[in-house]
Amino acid sequence: MVSLATGFHPGHTAAKPLLMPLLAAWAALRGAPRLLIAALLLGWGGDVLLMSGADAAFLAGMASFAAGHVCYLALFRAYGSARARTGPLALGYAVVLAVTVVLLWPDLPAGLRVPVACYSTLLTAMACTAAVRFGAVAGLGGALFMLSDTLIATGIAEWPQPPRPDFWVMLTYTVAQLLLARGVLGERPAPREPRRAVRSAAP
């Protein structure tokens, strides 16, 4: 974050590939499900691929993030439970998705329109499911993930950007992944205590 805020490109290049592996290691040490580790490492793959400016690398990075969202969805289904009414949240997220895609569509490069729309649909499903099945912390993480990727999409569409746009993209993305991990780890069922062996009363 400091490197991005100050424009120190070598620092950003060195630090960015370390973020998700460190977060995955932190989660693993706390007994995280394998699907969470997989989602974080697929995010790492997307981070590395997006460091290249090539169109093919961008699409490959998007595919890596998409696979991570599939892992999150499977994780939420396997370990989460309904914590909010699905209908109102799903409707709200669907409206945000539709408005965002419609507004961005004319300004996106023709070859990216369909991939971005499909990816955005998957991302929105992940964010909504995080809120429904894992509560506020994971839900906020999913929403920030949407914000981060929307900032990337508006940059591709050449919309006006805030100062240091890469800083805001990475800040929202990193916090999003952290909150998703904390939300999952914080909502796991407490491990059961082992039963104590009953001693025999026989002599």
Q: What is the predicted pLDDT for the residue at 178?
A: 97
Q: What is the predicted pLDDT for the residue at 57?
A: 92
Q: What is the predicted pLDDT for the residue at 187?
A: 67
Report pTM. 0.88
Q: Are 46 and 68 in contact (CB under 8 A)?
A: yes
CA distance between the termini of the chain = 69
Q: What is the predicted pLDDT for the residue at 196?
A: 46
pLDDT below 50 — which residues of the chain? 189-203
- Which tens digits make up the pLDDT trace of 36-51? 999 999 999 999 999 9
Q: What is the predicted pLDDT for the residue at 110?
A: 93
Q: What is the predicted pLDDT for the residue at 84?
A: 64
Q: How far is CA 99 from CA 15, 127, 134, 183, in A?
A: 34, 16, 26, 28
Q: What is the predicted pLDDT for the residue at 54?
A: 85
Can you spell out the DSSP letters for the chain?
-HHHHHT-HHHHHHHHHHHHHHHHHHHHHTT--HHHHHHHHHHHHHHHHHTS--HHHHHHHHHHHHHHHHHHHHHHHHH----S-HHHHHHHHHHHHHHHHHHHGGGS-HHHHHHHHHHHHHHHHHHHHHHHHHHHHHHHHHHHHHHHHHHHHHHHTT----SSHHHHHHHHHHHHHHHHHHHHHHTSPPPPPPPPPPPP---
- Which tens digits make up the pLDDT trace of 138-174? 999 999 999 999 999 999 999 999 999 999 999 999 9
